Structures are given as structure tokens and as C-alpha cells.
């Protein structure tokens, strides 16, 4: 008798971080059969090292901001739709961006005006009114802008909640399995993946592998120039609730986000948490996957945080950790079908915005899988915008 072939899925999603979880959640809600495969645990990579930022304040008017505004609405819906036992700690705390001088404030005004035209809610705050929003803020800034839409979730809880919801709708979740090959047919179209535990057959593969997105693309015989960009976070001892009320950062953080520099950059983002500790980020540098603790990065964060909030000078930092943002050269994620490999879809390269952009990314990928109209313009995120170098790897396994 011929060997019976395993049942085929609609899609295999590679990656159990928050982006892969969101893809699985919206795909199953659309009626697709999916499996999520990850070599590690849920939120074991970039997601687990994130602060949970849901930001519009740091995004200039354009495609990424459109995606962020959609995601903010979707996160609010998820906060009420997911079961109470899967609370994602959604906090609509708002953000405060402060300008150290008049030059920075003028630039921030122009930045905010363009955002406002795109649908962002933002309000200028005069220098003398900043402490009404943040009583512990140091004197001296020329002014700032308040962004009421900025919010936060607990990223690992959010990823786990989305995956549980997807699993309850029929998704398979296979953790601790590394994808070793992307299976293709004789015409080069994707037909599944191979792991040490066996093959998973599917009509589509979604690359939601974060910083390893370039590696997964190479397995499928295509090219995506995803690189890791390391960042450190300082965590303080628990502090009284309400000591720091918003996400607060200096205006130069926006320039750091948009920079392509490989060198160390730091601009403090300071925020409280429901449990009491204050989180202090963020640094950026491209050093591969080197996890070595950087005293210089932590020193800069501490100095910048205490310059914003002098009250933190006498507070103990109890730990520090690092993570790797999946960086693409033009600072836009790759979302959607790869024109060079039929059936391969990408959902990676979000850099530091993956948690904030995850729901809209999941919705955009699901639209491409089902042929539905995209919820936002998909063209700017097309993976085909990155040319394939001459030395790109040949296609992966086919059988």
C-alpha cells in the first residue's frame, strides 16, 4: 500500500514570538489551519526581552505609523476580547517626549504636526506644565509633547495569550523544534517545512523568525537582510506606584530609532510597571549576537535616566538584560508574500517595534493568505524591495 501523506495545513508559521503568535491568532480566526513552530519556548527571543512598547510617538508620518495606529486599536480590542486569565497587562499610560532646548522643540513641533495630520493625538506641553504630567521630572526642558495613545503590554504574556487563543481555535503549536529546511515542489513553490520531528506540509510558510528571519529566508532560497541590533534594559528595585506616570523620553530617542549606525547609541526611555520596578532603555548597536554585558551602555542609560528623573539617582538597579532587535536597512518590516518564492510570506524585521506592530502584522499576513483586501497599504512592506545579491544561497530542501 502507498504511504499515506500527512494532512496538509494552510500555513506553517515559523516563530512563537508575539508577531508569529499574532499571525496564528488572526489566521485561525479567518478559518485557516496553521501550525506554529519554534526552536525554543514561547517568547524566547526578542519578544521576551522587550519592554512591551506600543508607540506612535516615535514614528514619523508614513507606512509604519499607519501600521502602528491600526495595531493600537487592535491591542485595545484584544485587551477586552482575550479571557481574563490571559490578561496582557494593557496599560494606556500615554507617552511624554521632552525637548531639551528650543531647537529640539521646534523640530518636535514639525514632527508632531505631520503625525497629527496622519491621525495621531498629540498635545504640546509648555515647559512650566511638564511637571503636571510628571512631578518628578527634572527642570530645564524647553517643553514637550504628550501622546495619549502610547501604551504598553507585558510582551511574553501577550504572546502566550495569542497562542493559547489560536490553539483553542485549532492551531498546532510545536515548541523546541528547529526548522531545518523549507520544502519546495519541483517548480520552487513552498510546500512546508522540515524539522527533526518530521515534515509539516502546508501551502504557505510564514517567516516570523525575528532576528533569524534572514536565515529562514535563506532556507527558502531567497534573501532578506535582517540583522540583530542589540539593546540593553536596566530594571530598578520596586518603587511606589505613580512615581513615573508615562513613557518618558528625550526627543533624541526618535533620531536613534531612525538611525542606521552600527555604533552604540543610547537615549533613555523611562517608565514604571504595575509591579513597581522602573524600566530604563534603550541602547542600540550592531554587534551580531554578542550578549556580553556592556558597562558603557548601562552607564549611559543610568546617566540619562537620572538626568530626566533625579529621584532615580538613589535607586538601586537590581538587574540588566539585553535583547536583539531584528533590523532591516530601511527601518520598515518585511510583511507579505515573497515574489521570488511562491507560498513564502515574511513577517519580520520590525526592529524595536514588533510588539507594538504585531496585531496589524498578523492581520496583514492573514489578508495575503486568504486573498482579502489588506487593512493598510501593503506595498511599502513588500519583501521584494530588497534585491537578491549574486551570492544568495540556492533553494532549500525539495522532495
Residue 173: strand pairing partners? 36
What is the DSSP secondary structure assignment for residue 284, as one 8-state letter? E
Q: Is residue 277 part of a domain?
A: yes
Same domain, 192 and 241: no
Of 250, 283, 280, 282, nearest to 264 (Cα)? 283
Contacts 24+ apart (CB under 8 A), 194-198: 194/397, 195/37, 198/6
Q: Do 204 and 304 belong together in one domain?
A: no
The reply to whether 37 and 118 lie within a common domain is no
| Number of neighbouring beta carbons within 10 Å of residue 275 | 9
Question: Are 133 and 239 within one domain?
Answer: yes
Q: Is residue 104 in a domain?
A: yes
Residue 87 inside a domain? The answer is no
Q: Are residues 165 and 47 in the same domain?
A: yes
Cα 68 to its chain centre, rounded Å, is 10
Q: Does 359 reside within a domain? A: yes
Q: Residue 15 falls within a domain, yes or no?
A: yes
142 and 244 together in one domain: yes
Write out the DSSP string of 322-363: EEEEEE-TTS--EEEE-TTSTTEEEEE--GGGHHHHHHHHHH
Statement to judge: residues 141 and 235 lie in one domain: yes
Contact call for residues 298 and 232 (beta carbons, < 8 A): yes
CA geometry: angle 83, 238, 146, nearest 5 deg: 70
**Distance, CA of 380 to CA of 362 (rounded, Å):** 16
Alpha-carbon gap, residue 66 to 392, rounded angstroms: 32
Helix or strand holding residue 354 (H, E) = helix 354-370
Q: Is 61 part of a structural domain of the chain?
A: no
> C-alpha cell of 265?
547609541
Per-residue confidence in pLDDT tens, the chain, 399 aa: 333 445 699 999 999 999 999 999 999 999 999 999 999 999 999 999 998 999 999 999 999 999 999 999 999 999 999 998 888 999 999 999 999 999 999 999 999 999 999 999 999 999 999 999 999 999 999 999 999 999 999 999 999 999 999 999 999 999 999 999 999 999 999 999 999 999 999 999 999 999 999 999 999 999 999 999 999 999 999 999 899 999 999 888 776 666 667 788 888 899 998 889 999 988 999 999 999 999 999 999 999 999 999 999 999 999 999 999 999 999 999 999 999 999 999 999 999 999 999 999 999 999 999 999 999 999 999 999 998 776 444 454 444
State whether the Cα torsion 365-64-42-288 is positive or negative: positive
**Bridge partners, residue 278, by sequence:** 272
Residue 333 φ/ψ, nearest 5 degrees? -70, 160
Neighbours of 31 (CB within 10 A): 11
> Which of the listed residues 301, 327, 353 is the one where a domain comes to its end?
327
352, 332 Cβ separation under 8 angstroms: no
Q: Which three cell numbers stand for residue 214?
A: 534572514
What's the CA gap between 327 and 224, in Å, rounded?
10
Q: How far apart are CA 57 and CA 130, in angstroms?
A: 17
Say if residue 105 is in the same domain as residue 249.
yes
Asked if residues 54 and 153 have their Cβ atoms less than 8 Å apart, the reply is: yes
Whether 278 and 239 have beta carbons less than 8 Å apart is answered as: yes
Based on the domain organization, do 181 and 295 belong to the same domain?
no
pTM (global) more than 0.85: yes
Please tell me the total count of domains within the chain: 2
Domain holding 289, by residue range, is 95-148+227-327
Residue 136 and residue 162 share a domain: no
171 with 302, same domain? no
Residue 281 sits in a domain of what CATH number? Answer: 3.30.9.10
Q: Considering the domain boundaries, does residue 39 fall inside one?
A: yes
Which residue is associated with the grid cell 479567518?
30
Return the SS3 of 355.
Answer: helix
In a domain, 380, yes or no: yes
Per the CB < 8 A criterion, the answer to whether 40 and 377 are in contact is no
Kindly report the CATH number assigned to the domain that includes residue 192. Answer: 3.50.50.60
Q: Are residues 120 and 238 in the same domain?
A: yes
Amino acid at each position: 500500500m502507498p504511504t499515506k501523506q500527512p494532512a496538509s495545513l494552510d500555513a506553517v508559521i515559523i516563530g512563537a514570538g508575539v508577531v508569529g503568535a499574532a499571525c496564528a491568532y488572526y489566521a485561525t480566526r479567518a478559518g485557516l489551519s496553521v501550525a506554529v513552530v519554534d526552536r525554543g519556548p514561547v517568547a524566547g527571543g526578542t519578544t521576551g526581552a522587550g519592554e512591551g512598547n506600543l508607540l506612535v510617538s516615535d514614528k514619523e508620518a508614513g507606512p509604519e505609523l499607519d501600521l502602528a495606529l491600526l495595531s493600537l486599536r487592535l491591542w485595545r480590542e484584544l485587551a477586552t476580547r482575550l479571557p481574563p486569565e490571559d490578561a496582557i497587562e494593557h496599560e494606556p499610560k500615554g507617552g511624554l517626549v521632552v525637548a531639551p532646548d528650543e531647537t529640539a522643540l521646534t523640530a518636535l513641533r514639525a514632527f508632531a504636526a505631520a503625525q497629527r495630520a496622519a491621525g495621531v493625538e498629540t498635545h504640546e506641553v509648555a515647559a512650566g506644565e511638564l511637571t503636571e504630567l510628571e512631578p518628578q521630572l527634572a527642570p530645564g526642558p524647553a517643553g514637550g509633547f504628550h501622546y495619549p495613545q502610547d501604551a504598553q503590554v507585558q510582551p511574553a504574556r501577550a504572546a502566550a495569550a495569542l497562542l493559547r487563543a489560536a490553539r483553542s481555535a485549532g492551531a498546532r503549536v510545536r515548541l523546541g523544534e528547529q526548522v531545518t529546511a523549507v520544502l519546495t515542489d519541483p517548480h520552487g513553490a513552498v510546500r512546508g517545512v522540515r524539522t527533526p520531528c518530521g515534515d509539516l506540509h502546508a501551502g504557505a510558510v510564514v517567516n516570523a523568525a525575528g532576528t533569524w528571519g534572514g536565515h529562514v529566508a535563506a532556507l527558502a532560497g531567497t534573501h532578506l537582510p535582517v540583522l540583530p541590533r542589540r539593546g540593553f534594559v536596566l530594571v530598578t528595585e520596586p518603587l511606589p506606584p505613580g512615581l513615573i506616570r508615562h513613557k518618558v523620553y528625550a526627543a533624541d530617542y526618535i533620531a536613534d530609532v531612525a538611525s542606521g549606525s552600527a555604533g552604540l547609541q543610547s537615549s533613555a526611555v523611562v517608565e514604571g510597571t504595575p509591579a513597581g520596578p522602573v524600566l530604563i532603555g534603550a541602547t542600540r548597536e550592531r554587534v551580531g549576537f554578542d550578549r556580553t554585558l556592556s558597562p558603557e551602555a548601562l552607564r549611559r542609560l543610568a546617566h540619562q535616566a537620572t538626568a530626566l528623573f533625579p529621584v532615580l539617582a538613589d535607586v538601586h538597579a537590581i538587574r540588566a538584560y539585553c535583547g536583539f532587535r531584528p533590523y532591516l536597512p530601511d527601518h520598515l518590516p518585511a510583511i507579505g508574500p515573497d515574489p521570488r518564492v511562491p507560498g513564502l510570506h515574511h513577517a519580520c524585521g520590525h526592529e524595536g517595534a514588533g510588539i507594538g506592530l504585531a496585531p496589524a502584522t498578523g492581520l496583514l499576513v492573514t489578508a495575503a493568505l486568504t486573498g482579502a483586501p489588506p487593512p493598510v497599504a501593503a506595498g511599502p512592506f513588500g519583501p521584494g524591495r530588497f534585491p537578491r545579491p549574486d551570492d544568495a544561497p540556492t533553494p532549500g530542501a525539495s522532495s
